[in-house]
Amino acid sequence: MVNWKRGRGSFSIWLLILVLFALREIQTARHKHEMKFTVVATSQALLDHIAVALIDDIFWGSYYKSSHQFAVKAAWISEALGANLTEEMQHLVLDHERGYQFFIHHLTRNDTKIERNHTLQIRFDCELDGDIQLSSLAKYGLDGEDLIQIEGLDGQWVVLNPRAHSFKFIAESPFWTEVRKFYNKRYCVGAMQKILRNSSMKENLPPDVYVSRQDFPNGTIRYSCTATGFYPPSILLHWKKGSDGAIWGKENSSGTLPNSDDTFYLRISLEIQPEDTGTGYACVVDHSQLETPAVYPVPEKPSKWNLWAVALSVLLAAILMISCFVVFPKWTRRKAGTTSEAQLEERFSSSIASPAIDLQ
């Protein structure tokens, strides 16, 4: 009995450690939730309304006016959010359609062409590092032009277009300030935490890294460092030279871009001038799935002897292939001809050796 209790106690300790470790992994992860709304309307009628929700650039939910339904990407997301929160978001999107129509009507009240279509774009996002909120953003735009935005829960609305001055007074009212903070807590931060705590949006993957070198006739050297297939998208790539890390050259970056499989891609290049020997350079990669930043030295310039060896190998391989294509068909035809002659000789010998037929 004592041993069983002791064993149960050890199991409970290990279980607690595993739970704490899992919670730590969730809490130390950095995630971003974005909700984007696109509304097409005239000053008199709302024509279309589309909304999408993404966590770490991965789509998880959407709304289309044609269906009047807020839909999620997978069943487990509905379970993670719970029926109450899902229904709230459904009603919230529907209720706001009338508000969006009024907003467009208010901004375009001086337009002479009342039947003209206008496109309203709204973006809300929030970013977390564990349970700590790093940032939030609410931004409005009309017909491709930014109108007004606010960063942070306690920030100030910034007018980006004179047309939005009247809206600033409404947005800064105590009522709408509290509504905005509630929406951020309930639907941006709250929904993201529920989804992430119930299941991972995407398996975390370390980057595959490739470093290449290109030498130009004028003596310029270009190094390229490519990291691909990684998730989450936060990554740092930089060049260093020797122990001091100082580099001299022209740097370019592709920016972090999505791959078709929901992983990400980043490429940086460094162009150095002929007076630099190009030795000692390396690409340093830092990602959450790497225990420590990884260092990838650039390839050295191939010697002339190596180039001649490669060229000679290619030439010999080409000669061998051509020889095979020429010799093999001839050998096949010759073998076929020899076989036919042997068969004829055999048949002729058989006919001579056969006994004569007595016709009498």
Q: Measured between alpha carbons, how far is 44 from 9 in angstroms, rounded to an integer? A: 69
Q: Measured between alpha carbons, how far is 104 from 39 in angstroms, rounded to an integer? A: 9
Both 64 and 192 in a single domain? Answer: yes
User: Are 144 and 120 a contacting pair, CB within 8 Å?
Assistant: no
Q: Measured between alpha carbons, how far is 251 from 268 in angstroms, rounded to an integer? A: 7
Per-residue pLDDT, 233? 86
Domain boundary among 198, 225, 244: 198
Per-residue pLDDT, 105? 84
Measured N-to-C along each axis, helices 190-198 and 83-107 cross at an angle, to the nearest 10 degrees, of 140
- Which residues make beta-bridge pairs with 126? 33, 136
Low-confidence ranges of the chain (pLDDT < 70): 1-29, 199-202, 244-246, 302-314, 323-360
Query: Would 159 be classed as within a structural domain?
Result: yes
In 3D space, the residue among 246, 302, 249 whose CA is nearest the CA of residue 271 turns out to be 249
DSSP symbols for 328-351: HHHHHHHHHHHHHHHHHHHHHHHH
Both 69 and 99 in a single domain? Answer: yes
* Token representation of residue 187: 């639907």
Query: Would 318 be classed as within a structural domain?
Result: no
Both 242 and 168 in a single domain? Answer: no
Both 31 and 107 in a single domain? Answer: yes
Q: Measured between alpha carbons, how far is 253 from 168 in angstroms, rounded to an integer? A: 37
Both 57 and 163 in a single domain? Answer: yes
Question: The domain spanning residue 142 has which CATH number?
Answer: 3.30.500.10
Query: Would 336 be classed as within a structural domain?
Result: no
DSSP H stretches of helix in the chain? 2-27, 75-81, 83-107, 165-171, 174-183, 190-198, 304-353
- Strand, coil or helix: 235: strand
Q: ∠ CA(95), CA(96), CA(100), 5° rounding?
A: 140
Per-residue pLDDT, 58? 85
Per-residue pLDDT, 259? 86
Both 192 and 105 in a single domain? Answer: yes
Both 80 and 133 in a single domain? Answer: yes
Question: The domain spanning residue 216 has which CATH number?
Answer: 2.60.40.10
Question: What is the separation of C-alpha 204 from the centre of its chain, rounded to a whole number of angstroms?
Answer: 12
Both 180 and 217 in a single domain? Answer: no
Q: Kindly report, residue by residue over 285-305, the tens digit of the pLDDT.
A: 999 999 999 999 998 876 554
Query: How many of the other CB atoms lie within 10 Å of CB of 78?
Result: 15
Both 52 and 183 in a single domain? Answer: yes
Query: Would 302 be classed as within a structural domain?
Result: no
Q: Measured between alpha carbons, how far is 303 from 307 in angstroms, rounded to an integer? A: 6
Question: What is the separation of C-alpha 168 from the centre of its chain, rounded to a whole number of angstroms?
Answer: 36
Domain count, the chain: 2
Per-residue pLDDT, 261? 80
Query: What residue numbers bound the domain in which 62 lies?
Result: 26-198
First to last CA, the chain: 115
Both 53 and 165 in a single domain? Answer: yes
